[in-house]
Amino acid sequence: MPFISLYFQIFRHGYRSPIDGYPSDEIKEDQWPQGFGQLTAKNLGNILFLSSFSWINLERHEQHHKLGLWLHERYMVNNALLNETYKKSEIWIRSSAYDRTIMSAQSCLSGLYMLKEKNIMELLWTPIPVWTEKMQSDYLMSPWHCPCPRFTTLQKDRMKNPKIKEYMDNNKEFFNFLQEKSGLSENSTFWNYTRLADTIVMELDDNRTVNQWAQNETVQLKLKTLLDIGSGFNFANATAEETSIVSGLILKEISHSFNDIVTNSMHHQAHIFSGHDTTLAPLLAALSAKEIDHKPTPASCILLELYQDDKTFTVEMHYRNGTDEKVTKISIKSCSASSCPLEEFQKFVSPFIPEDIKKTCHYIPEGSSPSGNFILAVLVISILVVFLAIIICLFKGCKGRAHLFKKQSRFEPINFQLLGNPGSDSEDAEVFDVKSQ
């Protein structure tokens, strides 16, 4: 009977405050307890436990704690893949360098490794490391913040998608309404409006009283639809090159870890990635045989599981919606069965895996040595320029230079005093002051 030998989990952080406001927004940043871009009170729950002296209230982030409890049931109770107490050899957790993703990962782990009370002095939680990296160099979890000229070019091309203009033209009245009420510039782009929609939806999710014009249910529905359509425009039908930059390193981790299980060289049974909607959406677009028609909601989660039956390995993909907590099995593109043979999975994802992400990005780090091809090209061009200069001199320049030399005595020396006031060498002494320049 097949059993799970390894799983990858990629989830979005929990509900957060808006990334920023908009000009006419009545809800300012200082009205959010932790400011913009932070987990909100909607995530919070409480655990009461008894110490030797009194009941203590332990605050936790409910949304991901519940996700962790569900994972505990799936991988410890039903499948016995993980030990019920934390072992570093079994699990590895990676997050982007945002407060909200790190805190979401910690909350998920508090549910996954929820300790059973042994005595009233024991806290029902154990600390577990969550690894991260500086945002500007984290091509695994934050590729959009890393130096990547090629991705910038691809994104600019994607922004020119004629379907975006068509959608805005077909909904011109609505966008004019948003521009007037929000105070956005008349030159605002489609992406400015998706950010506006995100701000209002996050305010509504936190039960805030939004501006009066945004309290209309029809407007709210259109704003949520705008977010889903924006996610589709951003990631649907991505090229292999785009997928390689945005999701390639995660797919590389998955593919290599699957191979390690087959060759018995793998020691982690679980890999958890705490990211963003922009982490999940391109993965779903790349792998799912069926188009996902919505932006991944907070705490949504992708599971990729490797099943083993004797010497046969298959891959299954599941998606857990963060809103209704419904779990759906997803067919993987190009696979002949819903449980995808590992060989087919590896063949399918192979074009998305970059050999060197910086080369894929066309990025040369500052201070690094140029390649041999680059040096050769510069040398050849330099030789050609020198050769061309010699030819020009031989056929044109030399005669003119000789003629000019013969008449050199006719020229009068320049009187620099003419450039300045009487008694000075210049109107502005610094013009000829080498040190000052």
Domain range summary for the chain, segments of one domain joined by +:
1-364, 369-437
More confident residue, 337 or 100: 100
d(CA 76, CA 70): 10
Which of 31-45, 57-71, 223-237, 266-280 bottoms out in mean pLDDT, i.e. has the lowest? 57-71
The residue-averaged pLDDT of 124-151 equals: 92
How does residue 403 score in pLDDT terms, banded at 50, 70 and 90?
Answer: low
The answer on pLDDT for 398 being more than 90 is no
Which of 156-160, 225-229, 393-397 bottoms out in mean pLDDT, i.e. has the lowest? 393-397
Structure tokens at 374: 């680059």
Condensed to tens digits (0 to 9), the pLDDT of residues 115-137 reads: 765 554 455 678 899 999 999 99
d(CA 15, CA 343): 38
Structure tokens at 15: 């509900």
Residue 419, pLDDT score: 34
How does residue 329 score in pLDDT terms, banded at 50, 70 and 90?
Answer: very high
Q: To 10 degrees, what angle do helices 162-170 and 190-205 make?
A: 60
Q: In Å, what is the CA distance from 95 to each residue of 12, 206, 244, 385?
A: 10, 24, 19, 51
Residue 417, pLDDT score: 36
pLDDT above 70 covers a percentage of the chain that reads: 80
Strands 91-95, 270-275: pairing kind: parallel
Condensed to tens digits (0 to 9), the pLDDT of residues 172-182 reads: 999 999 999 99
Are the C-beta atoms of 342 and 314 separated by less than 8 Å?
A: yes
In residues, how long is the chain?
Answer: 437
CA angle 122, 123, 126 (to 5 degrees): 115
Residue 411, pLDDT score: 41
Are the C-beta atoms of 305 and 7 separated by less than 8 Å?
A: yes
What does the CA dihedral 69, 70, 74, 80 come to, rounded to 10 degrees? Answer: 0
The answer on pLDDT for 47 being more than 60 is no
Whole-number average pLDDT of the chain: 83
Q: What is the pTM of this model?
A: 0.79
The residue-averaged pLDDT of 7-19 equals: 95
Structure tokens at 369: 């040595």
Q: Which of 28, 11, 138 is nearest to 65 (CA)?
A: 11
The answer on pLDDT for 402 being more than 90 is no
How does residue 427 score in pLDDT terms, banded at 50, 70 and 90?
Answer: very low
- The CATH number of 1-364, from 1.10.357.10, 3.40.50.1240, 3.40.190.10, 3.40.50.150, is 3.40.50.1240
Condensed to tens digits (0 to 9), the pLDDT of residues 94-120 reads: 999 999 999 999 999 999 998 765 554
How does residue 51 score in pLDDT terms, banded at 50, 70 and 90?
Answer: very low
Which of 237-246, 286-295, 380-389, 413-422 bottoms out in mean pLDDT, i.e. has the lowest? 413-422
Query: Hey, CA dihedral for 83, 86, 90, 92, is it positive or negative?
Result: positive
Residue 139, pLDDT score: 96
Residue 420, pLDDT score: 37
How does residue 236 score in pLDDT terms, banded at 50, 70 and 90?
Answer: confident
Highest mean pLDDT among 53-57, 291-295, 329-333 belongs to: 329-333
Condensed to tens digits (0 to 9), the pLDDT of residues 190-211 reads: 999 999 999 999 999 999 999 9
Structure tokens at 191: 């992406």
More confident residue, 217 or 427: 217
The answer on pLDDT for 269 being more than 80 is yes
Strands 91-95, 301-309: pairing kind: unpaired
3-state secondary structure the chain: CCEEEEEEEEEECCCECCCCCCCCCCCCHHHCCCCCCCECHHHEEEEEEECCCCEEEEEEEHHHHHHHHHHHHHHHHCCCCCCCCCCCCCEEEEECCCHHHHHHHHHHHHHHCCCCCCCCCCCCCCCCCCECCCHHHCCCCCHHHCCCHHHHHHHHHHHCCHHHHHHHHHCHHHHHHHHHHHCCCCCCCHHHHHHHHHHHHHHHHCCCCCCHHHCCHHHHHHHHHHHHHHHHHHHCCCCHHHHHHHHHHHHHHHHHHHHHHHCCCCCCCEEEEEECHHHHHHHHHHHECCCCCCCCCCCCEEEEEEEEECCEEEEEEEEECCCCCCEEEECECCCCCCCEEHHHHHHHHHHHCCCCHHHHCCCCCCCCCCCHHHHHHHHHHHHHHHHHHHHHHHHHHHHHHHHHHHCHHHCCCCCHHHHCCCCCCCCCHHHHCCCCC
